[in-house]
A and B are shown apart, each in its own frame.
Chain A
Amino acid sequence: MEPLSWGEILLRLAYQFMPVWIALALTFGLSIAYKRRLGLYGKLFDNMIGMVGFAIVMFWVYTALFVGLFDWIITHDPLSAVSGMKNKVPGTPLRGAEDGDYPYYLLGGDTLARDVFSRMVQGSWVVIRIAPLATLFAFMAGITLGLPAGYFGGRLDTVLSFLANLILAFPVILLFYLLVTPEMVESGIPSYMAVVLFVLPILFMIVLINSRFHTQPTRRNVLVALVVVVFGWLYLSLINDPGTPVNFLPVDLDLFDIPGGILVVFVSVVFVNAPTVFRIVRGLALDIQTRDYVAAAQTRGEGPWYIMLWEILPNARGPLIVDFCLRIGYTTILLGTLGFFGLGLPSDSPDWGTTINQGRKLLSIYPHPAIVPAFSLLSLVLGLNLLADGLREESLKD
């Protein structure tokens, strides 16, 4: 068979992404039709930059979901090598293709003769699973510590701000190099950090419910019990991992195990992001607590946690949502950095940073194995930045 020309490659790529195009078209059609009823999300569709950003982000989200859940889009196994396909240029026909095999390496083969295209789409599943979740945890930690620091001020604020500045003054890469190593996983420090960091979201939710419903004890008790049981169990299964010092739960109760490598990546990314979120939330809390509605709530005799979580936090949502989008992008960059230095994730992992790291060694002769994941990462982060820009513009219009 003849190698494909660039036009054919593009056509075949577009065809391969067909489920994503359909999903995107549906999302946009429905959202634009009902945009007046959808609040801030609907307003996004009045803004060209925001729409472009949203489209790029959703493209990767749908790609990741379809690849991760249904095995669509992907053409070859991202981990298996095919002999004779080493460093082949994009569009090379598969040597020895049998019936049922996809007949081409659409974006070429890498140094270990694996399909670059399949690795790229599989890599999106790794990124889309870790980045938003890690950002969410960083936000939970930042909010739980930032609100009281801004609201109460005083010594608590001094101590927490000192700690936050301490972590911020630390070069991120040095921290990664010290934390994300197999020896560190063995010593158990990341597991202990996970114990502390992941308990903050649960505390946050309990306080959230308690401050709202403490006047209706039965309802409060039911909700708190529900949160403690469901999330407590998830929390215990998350931190509990055989092979690390934190291992006390019987195997039958342990719902899932996160490999130590992934957990330490997760923990260190949360650890790096949380202080910045803390500073933003603290600043917002300092600003908003001077408003009249906070004074009104104080006069009504509401408790400090009610005011923080149900008066200040909802009014700080605009900047926080915008920063959340930006921070997912930053987390993606951090994940890529980890992969680039070969830290944490296994070396055959298809995530974009690791793939770039492997591809860069032969960059001047065979650029395609590194360029493809590089552009994917670039487009996802760019999409998130544009989305954040659009959201900022639209939320400022209110």
Chain B
Amino acid sequence: MVLTALVLSFMVFFLTNQPPMLEKVAKFEGNSRMSDEEVARYLENNGFGQPMLVRYGEWLGVLPGWTTDRGDTVSGRCIDPGQDAATAPAFCGVLQGNWGDSRVFRDDVSSIVGTRLYMTGKLMLWVMLLMVPAALIIGVLAGMREGSKLDRTLSTFSIATTATPEYVSGVILITVFASSAVGLKWFKGTATAAMENATFENFFLPVLTIALYGMGYIARMTRASMAEVMTAQYIRTARLKGVSFHNIVLKHALRNALIAPFTVIMLQFPWLLNGVVIVETLFNYKGLGWALVQAAGNNDIDLLMGISVVSVFVVLVTQLISDIGYVYLNPRIRIS
């Protein structure tokens, strides 16, 4: 897992540090009409002239940060403006807790990622609260009588939601519920206000948009697993014993049918992250996804590295939870 995170962060570092990308950084910092020599001098003075592996090591904090001696002043990666070069630490990377500075927001990456992550976390929490129960209910209702009319209807619904990416469902939902063209002004079309003060009116549409796309997939998995359980021997035994259908579903089938969807829900996280970026852009909700778009558009290297480390970490942790949870939920593995 550590190896995966290292390789992935190096991949991001490698891509963001291609020469044309660095030129873009220089022109962002200086001005857009810099000549090639000026760009080269800027990059040399700011530590971009070293080999890529060395700079990755600096970012990570296993190699000492760069310093440039310009006669009267000494500047460097670990030297804050105005600080004496002699007192500055030699190492300042992620391992020392220094995530670098964002060039777009002019702030510490760790504080930006912190606030944005909180916003996205709020969004994700409500998405989960809406998506998981709805998907499980749809899946169980569809799977308990396979082939019935209810099953057909719900299955078609879940296929339709998996076929609707967020930028399509978001556009449709805004048009129907928030635009003046249709006239149903039930909700707000932007969620900017929801960052401080989330209400049902300004927060429901973004949550629903993300939840809908993930819902169909989980519902289909639940349906498949429920349908399989309903044909099992012990369900037939229970029916022959005279247990009511209601009790069979709730007491005998449900618990076994929910093992498979659990892993699916956990593995949905990487997909949800995509949805978050789209929805935050569409509804102008300034969370992690929005920050990612801003950072990527301006090649803000340190912020991009921070965000990608966070998102890769989230994905890897959910994979781990899904493995552990599977063992814990499944008595056949737990006991043996």
Contact = CB atoms under 8 A, between A and B. Distances in A.
A binds B: yes
Interface of A: 49, 162, 165-166, 168-174, 177-179, 183-184, 186-187, 189, 329, 333, 336-337, 340-341, 353, 356-357, 359-360, 363-367, 370-371, 374-375, 377-378, 381-382, 384-386, 389
B18 A183 contact: yes
A363 B173 CA distance: 11
Contacts of A365: 179-181
B137 to A, nearest CB: 21
B281 interface: yes
Contacts of A172: 270, 274
B312 A170 contact: yes
B278 A337 contact: yes
Contacts of B327: none
Given A174-B308, A177-B293, A382 B168 contact: no
Contact of B4 (A165, A178, A336, A377): A165
Contacts of B7: 166
A344 to B, nearest CB: 13
Contacts of B315: 169, 171
Nearest to B19: A187
15 contacts: A49-B156, A162-B4, A169-B4, A169-B270, A170-B8, A172-B274, A177-B297, A178-B12, A183-B21, A187-B21, A365-B179, A381-B163, A381-B165, A382-B160, A385-B159
Contacts of A189: 15, 18
A166 B296 CA distance: 21
Nearest to A363: B174
Nearest to B308: A174
A187 B18 contact: yes
A186 B156 CA distance: 45
A371 B171 CA distance: 7
B12 A340 contact: no
Given A166-B8, A385-B159, A385-B162, 12 more contacts: A169-B8, A172-B270, A183-B299, A187-B18, A341-B281, A365-B181, A367-B171, A370-B171, A381-B163, A382-B159, A384-B163, A386-B159
Given A171-B273, A171-B311, A363 B278 contact: no
B164 to A, nearest CB: 5
A169 B316 contact: yes
Nearest to B165: A333
Contacts of B11: 170
B15 A179 contact: yes
Contact of A337 (B162, B163, B165): B165
A351 to B, nearest CB: 13
Contact of B274 (A168, A184, A337, A367): A337
B45 interface: no
A171 B274 contact: yes
A378 B213 CA distance: 12
A68 to B, nearest CB: 23
A171 B308 contact: yes
Nearest to B170: A360
Contacts of A174: 12, 292, 296, 304, 307-308, 311
Shortest 3 CB-CB distances between A and B: which pairs? Answer: A177-B296, A183-B20, A187-B18
Contacts of A336: 165, 167-168
Interface in B1-30: 4, 7-8, 11-12, 15-16, 18-21, 23-24
Contacts of A364: 174, 178-181, 189
B43 interface: no
B194 interface: no
Contacts of A382: 159-160, 163-164
Contacts of B207: none
Contacts of B312: 169-171
B174 A378 contact: no
Nearest to A388: B159
B277 interface: yes
Contacts of B299: 183
A374 B18 contact: no
B179 A367 contact: yes
B163 A374 contact: no
Given A166-B8, A169-B8, A177 B292 contact: yes
A86 to B, nearest CB: 16
Nearest to B14: A189
